[in-house]
A and B are shown apart, each in its own frame.
Chain A
Amino acid sequence: MNAGTAGALDAHVVVAHASLDVRLSLRPGEVVAVMGPSGAGKTTLLDALSGLTRLDAGHVAVDGVILADANHHVPPSRRAIGLLGQDPLLFPHMTAVGNIAFAARSAGSPRAEAVTIAQEWMRRIGLAELGDRRPDQLSGGQRQRVALARALAARPRLLLLDEPFSSLDVQAAAQLREVVGEHLNGTTAVIVSHTLADAQSLAPRLVILEDGRITQDAPLGDVLAAPATPFAGAVAATA
C-alpha cells in the first residue's frame, strides 16, 4: 500500500505580489531551503502558496495552474499544498492516529484504510506505541513528528515547511531533521528557515530571499563558497 507521497511533480512556483516577486522551479522531489532576513517576504510567500491569505494583486501559479490572482482563489483544501509550521497544531480532540487518519481521509482514503495508513505512519516515525495518545500526552518533538506524518499522509504535491524545528530543543530538532529527511521520500518541498543547519541537513539547494526578491539561488555549496549578498555572506559565515 502506498501510505504516503503522491506522484512527484515538477513545481514551477510563481508568486507575483505587490511586495513579492518570486519565481522558483523545483524538480520532482527536490527540496529547496529559503533563507532571508525578517520581513523579506518568507511568510507572505508561504501564505500565498498555501492559500491561507488572499491576494489583492499579482498571482500564484504552481505547474502553470493559476491558484490565485486578483479575481479568483483556489481554497487551501483544493491545492494539495501541505504546510508544517513551527506549531504542530495537532487537533487536540483526536489521538495521534486520529490526526493522521484525518489527513488520509481528506486525501480520499476510505475510513478503514485511513486508519491503517495512520498506524503505518506512526511506525515509520518511531511512535508506533503512542498512537492512542492525545497531543497533550506527547512531547514537543513527538507532536511535531506526528504533524509531519499528518502533512505527508494528505499526499501533498508540494510541502511547505515553515521553521518546523525552531520550537524544539537542539536534540529534538536534530532528531526531527533526520525524520523529515527520511520521510519526505520524493515529496517536493520548500523549507523556510533561519538556521543553516536545516539547509545543510535537508536541502541541497539554497535560495536567498531579500526584500521580496530572490538574490541568490544556487546549490548550497556554491552559496557558501561565493555568497552574492552581505546577507548570504552572513549565512555562509555560520557554516
Chain B
Amino acid sequence: MTRRDTGTGTPFTLIAPAVLGVALLILPLVALVGRASWATLWQDVTSPVALDALRLSVLSGLGATALCLVLGLPLALLMARSGPRLSALLRALVAVPLVLPPMVGGVALLFLFGRTSPVGRMLSDAFDLTLPFTPAAVVLAQAFVALPFLVLAVEGTIRSVGGRYERTAATLGARPWRVLWHVTLPLAVPGIVVGVILCFARAIGEFGATALFAGNAPGVTQTMPLAIYTAFNGAGTGRETAVALSLLLLATAVVVLLLVRAWRPGALK
C-alpha cells in the first residue's frame, strides 16, 4: 500500500535547486545523445576496437566484481560483527579508495606489483607472473576502486537486519556456518544486490587506476573508458567514435541495471 505523505510538506523553495540537480544529471547525457552521428553509429560501435574494448570491459568488470564478492563479503561480515573501534577503523580503511584519486591508486598498485618492488619480484621469481600492463592488472585496478561500494552496502545491510535473527538461530542450536548460509546471507541479499550493481558499475567506468597500472593497449588492457579517451583525443579515430563508444557504455550500464533488477527477488524489494 502506498500513501502520499501529506503531513510534512517540503518547503516550496527547495523545488528549484532540486530540479536543477536533476538537470545537471540529465542534460549532459542529452547533449551526448545529440552529438551522436547516427549514420556511422553502428559502424563505430561494431568496429574491432570498440568490440575489443567492450568485451574487455564486461569481462574485467565481471572479474573485478567476483573478486570484490570473494574478498568483500567476508570483510563486510567482519566489520558488521566486530566491536565499534575495530569496525570504525576497518570502515575508514575501506573508504580510502573512495576519497583517493584513482590515478593515485594506479600509481600505488604499480609501485606494489611493479618489477622493481619486492612483491613484484617475488611474484615474478616464484610464479613467473608479471601483473602490470596485463588484463589481470585491469581486474585488480577495477577491484581496488570498486571494493568499497560492495563492502559498505553489504555491511550496512547485515548490521541493520541480522542480529536478532542470528541470535535466534543460535538458540535453536545452529552453528555459525549454518547461521551464515541460511540466515545472515539470505537476509543480506538486498544489500548484496545493491553492492554488486554499484561495484560493477564502478568497475566498468574505471579509468585512472587502469590507465596507470594496466596501460592502454588495444585488445589487451584497453577498456571502454580508455578507448573513449583515446578516440576523443583523436588518435586515429574521431570524436564520433568517442560519442558512439560512450553511448555503448551507457547502454551497457543500463542493461546491467535492468537485468539485476529483474532478477531481484520480489519479496525482498
Contact = CB atoms under 8 A, between A and B. Distances in A.
Interface of A: 50-52, 75-83, 87, 89, 91-94, 102-103, 105-107, 134, 150-151, 154-155
Contacts of A134: 267
Interface centre among A87, A89, A106, A150, by most chain B C-beta atoms within 10 angstroms, is A106
B173 interface: yes
A102 B165 contact: no
Interface string B208-237: 000000000000000000000000000000
Nearest to B265: A93
A232 to B, nearest CB: 30
B172 A151 contact: yes
A82 B172 contact: yes
B172 A103 contact: yes
A102 B171 contact: no
27 contacts: A50-B171, A51-B170, A51-B171, A75-B170, A76-B170, A77-B169, A77-B172, A77-B173, A77-B175, A77-B176, A77-B179, A80-B173, A81-B171, A83-B171, A91-B169, A91-B182, A91-B187, A92-B187, A93-B186, A93-B267, A94-B182, A102-B169, A102-B174, A103-B172, A150-B172, A154-B172, A154-B173
B18 interface: no
Nearest to A100: B172
The prevalent SS among residues of B at the interface is: helix
Contact of A106 (B178, B267, B268): B178
Contacts of A150: 172
A92 B187 CA distance: 8
A105 B165 contact: no
B51 interface: no
B183 interface: yes
Contacts of B169: 77, 91, 102, 106
A91 B173 contact: no
Given A76-B167, A81-B171, A134-B267, A91 B183 contact: yes
B269 interface: no
Nearest to B174: A106
Interface residues of B, number: 20
Interface in B181-196: 182-183, 186-187
A58 to B, nearest CB: 21
Contacts of B85: none
A186 to B, nearest CB: 18
A107 B171 contact: no
A155 B164 CA distance: 21
A209 B241 CA distance: 80
Contacts of A107: 172-173
Contact of B172 (A51, A52, A75, A102): A102
B172 to A, nearest CB: 4
B170 A77 contact: yes
Contacts of B172: 77, 82, 102-103, 106-107, 150-151, 154
B202 to A, nearest CB: 28
A150 B183 CA distance: 15
A151 B165 CA distance: 13
A77 B171 CA distance: 5
Contact of B171 (A82, A87, A93, A94): A82
B152 to A, nearest CB: 23
Contacts of B47: none
Contacts of B167: 52, 76
Interface centre among A75, A94, A103, by most chain B C-beta atoms within 10 angstroms, is A103
Contacts of A78: 173
List 6 tightest A-B contacts by C-beta distance, closest first. A76-B170, A106-B174, A106-B173, A154-B172, A103-B172, A83-B171
A102 B267 contact: no
A136 B175 CA distance: 26
B188 to A, nearest CB: 10
A81 B171 CA distance: 7
Given A76-B170, A77-B173, 16 more contacts: A50-B171, A51-B171, A77-B170, A77-B176, A89-B164, A89-B165, A91-B183, A92-B187, A93-B186, A93-B187, A93-B268, A102-B174, A106-B172, A134-B267, A154-B173, A155-B173
Contacts of A106: 169, 172-175, 178
Contacts of A80: 173
Contacts of A79: 171
Contacts of A105: 178
B178 A91 contact: no
A103 B175 CA distance: 11
Contacts of B117: none
Given A102-B182, A105-B178, A106-B178, A89 B168 contact: yes
